[in-house]
Structures are given as structure tokens and as C-alpha cells.
Amino acid sequence: MNKSVPKFLKLPALDNDPLTYEMYMTTKELAARWRMNPGSLANQRSLGRQGPAYIRVNDNTVLYPMSEILAYEREHLIATKKKQRKASDLSDL
């Protein structure tokens, strides 16, 4: 079985600085990263539920900035009582 590695989109960042680029994931790529159904992400978007910020490029294309995905993952990281983590320990995620 051949597993394909997601090919990130590399587009100019939202601040319009031509020297700054942001990586983006599609709904399908993010769903694979989080091992969930792409429809669940679509439902979260349509209901205004939790999830990382996204950009709707057109009716059929939604992109998630990698910086928003990582920030969302850091915010929702749950440390066990046995192994409590400090905020400074999360910087290398």
C-alpha cells in the first residue's frame, strides 16, 4: 500500500509581505493528520464550532494555514496529571 505524503501549498502569508510565506493544508490533508473524516471538519465549519481558522478560497476550496493548525493543536493539548507540561515545554511542538 502506497501512502502519499501531503504536498503543502506554499502561498504568500496573509500580511502580504512577499518575503513571508505560509504553508496551507486542505480539508482532506488536515483530516488525515487528525485521523478524522473530512466531513467532520466541514460540519465544524458550517456550524461555527471549534476548529482552526481557515480561508475559503472558493465554494469548493478551503485552506487551513499551518500556523493556525499548530496554534489550535497547542491550545487543545491535554497533559496528564502524571506528566504535567509547562507552557515553555510546548514550544518545540
User: Is residue 3 in a domain?
Assistant: no
Residue-averaged pLDDT of the chain: 79
Q: Report the pLDDT averaged over residues 75-86.
A: 74
Query: Does residue 39 surpass a pLDDT of 80?
Result: yes
User: Is residue 15 in a domain?
Assistant: yes
Using one digit for the tens of pLDDT, what is the confidence trace for 8-23? 566 656 566 655 678 8
Query: Does residue 50 surpass a pLDDT of 50?
Result: yes
CA-to-CA distance for 13 and 21, rounded, in angstroms?
A: 5
Decide: pTM greater than 0.85: no
Query: Does residue 5 surpass a pLDDT of 80?
Result: no
Say how many domains are in the chain.
1
CATH number where 49 lies: 1.10.10
- Write the DSSP string, 31-80: HHHTTS-HHHHHHHHHHT-S----EEEETTEEEEEHHHHHHHHHHT----
Of residues 44 and 10, more confidence is placed in: 44
